[in-house]
Amino acid sequence: MLLYIHVPFCRSKCRYCAFHSMVASDAALVLYVDHLVKEIQARAKDREFAALETLYMGGGTPSLLSPLQLERIVGAVVEHFSLGPNLEFTMEGNPGSLRQKGYLQAIRRAGVNRLSIGMQSLDNDQLKLLGRTHTASQALSAYNRARSAGFANISLDLIWGLPQTRVKDWLDQLKRVVKLGPEHISCYGLTVEPDTPLEEQCLDNQVTLPLEGEQAKMFVHGAELLESEGYLHYEVANFARMGYLSRHNLGYWEGSDYLGLGPSAVSTLGGERFANPPDLDEWMAGVAGGNPWPEPETLDAGTTLREMLMLRLRTSRGLRLRDYRLRTERDFMADFAKIIETLHHNHLIRIRDGYLRLTKEGMLVSNTIIENIFAQLDLLGTDTASSPANHDK
């Protein structure tokens, strides 16, 4: 079982961000923690959950929680859930809120054993443009401080495809990051989300993103560089040293059940998906009013199949062809012969040892590939969607 806790507060809103988060006030944080603890109790009582393999606190900026608040949350989790022997406990933090070694030591004492730092860029101009409140040197010292506080598993978040950057800028930055020696690196292509200040700037031509070809090179050459430095490219956006893959995130891509707590958090449990209300007040009202489960989205066999294809193809391990057969009693290679031939011919996929995986070039166009696969699934008819699922659990 995976447990996700969403902390919906930030010190300020980034210009590219479309997530549900709000600028923190102390009072709101207090109320949030009270309600979260109640939600932990209520959910744990309501169902039988397997032992937690991972706990992930994301946001927002979870590092805005005080050590005491964090301890209260963790205490509630420990009290109401059983923990697996090898719990991966990740917390996200922004460089700006990781300024004190004492804080870092405190969260480590609270049980956090994996720290994910939102570094984003080492270029101060770019950080400013993104609306980040920290500087590159603050990010570097946050990293060093975390190390000296004893964190042995640190992930750094970076954004590529930033306005006015070239391939060389990105590669130079990656080299500097690699020198720091983080165990894990996430590289997200900058996405211009609707209704964000960044979108406005793009529409007004105040900023221009690199051309498609340039972006493609950033992705491919960046990934090659990291691989040559010993990082495994294990998912579209994720790289890790051996043994440091994010087990929590791998769980999402492999179809594990997960429970999400906090506003906007999503749970997928036994073929049903529940989404908490994104609005803080609405979420709190729900928790206070007996914490009913949200109206579920039922994942039928066809939907589960599509999600399996969509998610597995994000990983470098790829889709196990046998899993397709187990779900559908059909042969993937036969069902998708034409698409496979085209993709193969254009070096977008590799098939080996019973797995189909996307090449780096394939990952770059994975949406188009998956759209084609979905369209073909429809043509195959409903029988692929109706057979009993989940033999492999």
**Binding residue (CB under 8 A) for other proteins from 378, 382, 383, 386:** 378
Side-chain half-sphere CA neighbours of 383 within 13 A: 6
Q: How far is the CB of 328 from other proteins (least distance, A)?
A: 17
Cβ closest to other proteins, residue 79 vs residue 227: 227
Q: Which of 77, 130, 310, 389 binds other proteins (CB under 8 A)?
A: 310
Residue 385 CB neighbour total at 10 angstroms = 19
Beta carbon of residue 121, minimum distance to other proteins (angstroms, whole number): 15
Q: Six-digit token pair at 139? A: 């990010």
CB of 162 to other proteins, least distance (A): 13
Q: Is 205 left (phi over 0), alpha (psi -120 to 50) or beta?
A: left
8 A C-beta contact, residue 194 and residue 200: no
Residue (258 or 324) nearer to other proteins, CB: 258
Count the site residues for other proteins by CB under 8 A: 54
Binding window for other proteins (CB under 8 A); candidates: 35-43, 123-131, 141-149, 258-266: 258-266
> Which residue type sits at 314?
R
Give 31 or 311: the residue with its C-beta nearer to other proteins: 311
Residue 27 vs 379, nearer CB to other proteins: 379
Handedness of CA 374, 377, 382, 387 (dihedral sign): negative
User: What residues contact residue 368 under an 8 Å CB cut-off, 6+ apart?
Assistant: none
CB 372 within 8 A of CB 306: no
Q: Quick check: 314 binds other proteins (CB under 8 A)?
A: yes
Tokens 């470098």, residue located = 316
Residue 271 engages other proteins in binding (rule: CB under 8 A): no
Q: Of 265, 340, 385, 389, which one interacts with other proteins (CB under 8 A)?
A: 265
Task: Single out the residue of 190, 223, 284, 319 in contact with other proteins (rule: CB under 8 A).
Answer: 190
Q: Which is nearer to other proteins, 67 or 189 (CB)?
A: 189
Q: For other proteins, which stretch binds (CB under 8 A), given 31-39, 138-146, 225-233, 339-347? A: 339-347
| Least CB distance to other proteins at residue 137 (A) | 26
45 binds other proteins (CB under 8 A): no
CA distance 211 to 203: 15
**Residues 22, 140, 207, 311: which binds other proteins (CB under 8 A)?**
311
**Closer residue to other proteins in complex, CB, 143/258:** 258
Burial zone of 368 (CB within 10 Å; 0-12 exposed, 13-18 middle, 19+ buried): exposed
174 binds other proteins (CB under 8 A): no
Minimum CB separation from other proteins for residue 17, in Å? 12
- Is 188 a binding residue for other proteins by CB under 8 A? The answer is yes
| Interface mask toward other proteins for 200-219; x: CB under 8 A | ------------xx-xx--x
For other proteins, the binding residue among 124, 133, 366, 390 (CB under 8 A) is 366
Interface with other proteins includes 114 (CB under 8 A)? no
Cα 147 to Cα 237, 251, 298, distances in angstroms = 24, 27, 43
183-199 b/e (C-beta count within 10 Å ≥ 16 → b): bbbbbeebebeeebebb
Q: How far is the CB of 159 from other proteins (least distance, A)?
A: 9
Cβ atoms of 31 and 289 closer than 8 Å? no
Which positions touch other proteins (CB under 8 A)?
2, 4, 6, 58, 186, 188-191, 212-213, 215-216, 219, 236-237, 249, 252-253, 258, 260, 264-266, 268, 273, 275, 297, 303, 306-307, 310-311, 314, 338, 342-343, 345-346, 348, 363-372, 374-375, 378-379
